Amino acid sequence: MSSESFENLSYEDRTFSPSETFIGNANAKSDIYDEANKDRQAFWEKQANRLHWDKKWSQVVDWQLPFVKWFIGGKLNASYNCLDRHVLEGRGDRVAFNFEGEPGDTRTITYTQLLSEVCKTTNALIELGINQGDRVAIYMPMIPEAAIAMLACARLGAMHSVIFGGFSADSLLSRIQDADATLVITADGGYRKGAAFALKPAVDEALKGVTNVKNVLVVKRTGQETAWGGRDIWWHDLVDKQSDKHNAEFFDSENGLFILYTSGTTAKPKGIYHTTGGYLTQAAFTHSAVFDLKPETDVYWCTADIGWITGHSYVVYGPLINGATQVMYEGTPDTPTKGRIFELVEKYKVSILYTAPTLIRTWMKWGDEYPNGSNLSSLRLLGSVGEPINPEAWMWYREVIGKNNCPIVDTWWQTETGAIMISPLPGVTATKPGSAMRPLPGIGADVVDDEGKAVGNGRGGYLVLTEPWPSMMRGIWKEPDRYKETYWSRFNNLYFAGDGAKLDKDGAIWLLGRVDDVMNVSGHRISTTEVESALVSHEAVAEAAVVGAKDEMTGQGIVAFVILRGGIEAAKGDALVKSLRDHVAKEIGPIAKPRQIMVVAELPKTRSGKIMRRLLRDVAENRAVGDSTTLADPNVMKLISEGLKSGKSED
C-alpha cells in the first residue's frame, strides 16, 4: 500500500522566463514576495490603498477561525471605486467596454457613459424600493446591462446574486428562495449559437414558486414575443427616464457585496457570500499584478460569463477598479465561425486574454487554421483558469496563440477564495507548462498529507490555505455549520480547498484535480489530471477525461475518454488505443496505464466548462447515468453511450 495521499507521477523540466523587456516594465517586481513576507498585514493595507475609502479602517484584520473581517471600520462604495473615481480624475473618456453581440452588433461604452447608466439604474432600483442589504437576482445574457445591474446594486449597498443564464427555472427558483431576493433583473433573451434564446419564460416559470419577488425588470435584447404580467417592467421604460446623477453612499467594509451560488457535493448549491473592502482589495491587486494591466494601452479580455466568479472578479470589479478597457462578447466561440474569438482579438487589438482550459482544448481540437487566420500580434499576455491546464495544452496556447511571445499565467482560485491565490507573476516567474507555480504575495498555501502535515517537495497531497486572505468568502449564506464542515473541519486551522496538488522538486505547485475524483489503483492514489495530461501529450489527442471504475483485481481501473485533434481519424482504432496506452505508461509509468480507452466526440461538461467525471464513471461502470441536469449539453451523455454501443473501443 502506498502511504502517499496522491502519487507524484509526471515530471516536467521545461521552463519559460519572461523577456527582459517584460521584466523591466512589469507591474509586480520580484521584491514583492519579500515585502509581503515581512509584514502581511502591512502588505494588504498597502493594496487596500488602491481603493478610494471615504473613511479609513481602524483595524486591518480580525481572524476568529473560521470567520474573518478585513479593514474594519473602513467605509467605501464598490461602484464609486469602479466608476466615479475614473471620471473625477479625468479618465471618463476612456472606453470601459467594447461590447460585441453575437449577431455582430456593437456598443462602445466609456467610463462616463457607464457611470451615467449605472446611476440611472440605481435610481430605478430606488424607485422599486431596493435598499441596502436587499438581495437582487440577476439572470442575464452577457450584455453590458448585466454589469450595469451588478454595479447599481453595489452602489446601493444591496447584494446581487447573479444566476448564470444557462440555468433552468428550477435552479433559478431555488437560488431566489435561498437568498430571499425581492427583485429579478433579466432580459427577454440573448443570442447563442446563431439564434435567439429566451430567458424571461424561465423567470416566469420560476416565479410560480413561493418567493418574495415584487418586480421583474426586463431588458429588451432580442425583441422576441414575451409574456407580460403585473410585476414586469421593461428596463427602457423605467431606467431611461431616470436622472443620470446619483451620489454614492459609503458602506462598511464588511457590507455584503454579493452571493454567488456554486454547486456542492449535495444537491443544494452553496450560496458563497462575499463582502466589500477585502474582496475589492484583492480583486484589484491581483488583476494588476497577475495580468500586468497597463490601463492606458492594454485591451483586456476575460471570456468568462458574468454568471461565474471569474466574471465578477475579472470582468466587473478588478478591471473596472483598475480603469481597464475591455472586450465583452455575448455569444459562443464557434459562431458564425470557429475563428470568432481570434477575429475579435484582431479587431479590438486585444493584448491580454484570460480564458479557460476547456476552450483552449476545444481550439486544439478544431485545428490551428482558425487562430492562424487572424492577426494575433497584439497579444502580450495569456491567462488560464478553471481547471488544471495540461502541459501540452499550455504549450499549444503559448505557441499557436501567443506566438512564443506571451507569458502565461495559470491562475488557481475558487468562487470561495474570491480572487486569484496561486499564480505566476508574469514579470517575475519562470513558468513551467501546467503549473500554477506558487502562492501570490500575501497568500499562504501548502500541500499536506491525510494528517495535515506538510508533504514537502516532490510529493502529492491536499491543497490547503494557511492564512486568512482579504477576498475570502465570509460564509455560506445562512449555513454557518455547512461552511465550517465543508472547509474547516478536514484539517486543524487550515482551509481545505478540495483539490489534490503536489509540490515538484523546486516547490512549484501542480494542481491534480478534485479530491472526489482521485482514482485508487492497487492502493495508489492517482490523480485524474496527471493521466489526462499524459494522454493530451500524445499528438493525436486534444482532450481527455479519465475516471476510476470498479475493478476486481486492482480496486479501481483507469478508464479514459479521449477526443482526437482536428485532422486525426478515429478509424485508426485499435492501433491508436494501443499507442495511447503505451504512451501513458512511458510518460508516467505502467501503474497509470488506462485499462480501457474510448474515443468520443464530446465530453460531458458543466456550464462553466468543467468535465463531469461522475457521469463518465457511471458509463465506465455500466450504470444508468445519474443526475445530469447541470450539463451544458444534455445530449452528450446519450451520444457517448450510443457511440460505445456501436463501436468497439476497448483493447
Angle at 570 between CA 584 and CA 566, to 5 degrees: 85
User: Judged by CB under 6 A, which of 414, 471, 486, 630 binds ligand PRX?
Assistant: 414
Stretch near ligand PRX under the rule CB under 6 A, chosen from 57-65, 125-133, 191-199, 379-387: 379-387
> Residue 473 and residue 272: Cα distance in Å, rounded?
6
The reply on whether position 608 binds ligand PRX by CB under 6 A is: yes
The reply on whether position 475 binds ligand PRX by CB under 6 A is: no
The reply on whether position 533 binds ligand PRX by CB under 6 A is: no
Closer Cβ to ligand PRX, 235 or 413, answer by number: 413
CA distances from 198 to 318, 520, 573 (A): 30, 44, 42
> Residue 81 and residue 521: Cα distance in Å, rounded?
52
| CA neighbor of 136 nearest in space, from 169, 155, 162 | 162
User: Judged by CB under 6 A, which of 61, 148, 385, 549 binds ligand PRX?
Assistant: 385
Closer Cβ to ligand PRX, 262 or 378, answer by number: 262
Contact characters 80-119, ligand PRX, x per CB under 6 A: ----------------------------------------
The reply on whether position 409 binds ligand PRX by CB under 6 A is: no
C-beta of 144: minimal distance to ligand PRX in Å? 22
User: Judged by CB under 6 A, which of 386, 433, 439, 557 binds ligand PRX?
Assistant: 386
C-beta of 92: minimal distance to ligand PRX in Å? 31
Q: 246 CB contacts (<8 Å, ≥6 apart)? A: 118, 119, 122, 123, 155
The reply on whether position 276 binds ligand PRX by CB under 6 A is: no
Residue type, 308: W
> Residue 522 and residue 575: Cα distance in Å, rounded?
27
The reply on whether position 487 binds ligand PRX by CB under 6 A is: no
The reply on whether position 165 binds ligand PRX by CB under 6 A is: no
Residue 533, phi then psi, degrees to nearest 5: -65, -35
What's the first-to-final CA gap in the chain, in angstroms? Answer: 28
Would the CA dihedral through 263, 172, 625, 546 be positive or negative?
negative
| CA neighbor of 269 nearest in space, from 507, 641, 527, 606 | 606
| CA neighbor of 483 nearest in space, from 500, 495, 501 | 495
C-beta of 650: minimal distance to ligand PRX in Å? 30
Binding residue count for ligand PRX, defined by CB under 6 A: 20
DSSP run (H or E) holding 147? helix 144-156
Closer Cβ to ligand PRX, 387 or 618, answer by number: 387
C-beta of 59: minimal distance to ligand PRX in Å? 29
User: Judged by CB under 6 A, which of 97, 235, 366, 412 binds ligand PRX?
Assistant: 412
The reply on whether position 318 binds ligand PRX by CB under 6 A is: no
> Residue 415 and residue 569: Cα distance in Å, rounded?
39
Residue pair 615/626 in contact (Cβ under 8 Å)? The answer is yes
Stretch near ligand PRX under the rule CB under 6 A, chosen from 365-373, 442-450, 492-500, 638-646: 492-500
The reply on whether position 410 binds ligand PRX by CB under 6 A is: yes
The reply on whether position 497 binds ligand PRX by CB under 6 A is: yes
Tracing cell 479625468 back to the chain, one arrives at 90
C-beta of 501: minimal distance to ligand PRX in Å? 9
Contact characters 430-449, ligand PRX, x per CB under 6 A: ------x-------------
Closer Cβ to ligand PRX, 367 or 498, answer by number: 498
User: Judged by CB under 6 A, which of 409, 511, 518, 584 binds ligand PRX?
Assistant: 511
The reply on whether position 415 binds ligand PRX by CB under 6 A is: yes
Residue 329, phi then psi, degrees to nearest 5: -125, 135
| CA neighbor of 467 nearest in space, from 487, 442, 492, 490 | 442
| CA neighbor of 546 nearest in space, from 533, 564, 559 | 559
Q: What is the DSSP pairing of strand 408-410 with strand 159-162?
A: unpaired
C-beta of 4: minimal distance to ligand PRX in Å? 20
Residues binding ligand PRX (CB under 6 A): 262, 309-310, 385-388, 410-415, 436, 497-499, 511, 514, 608
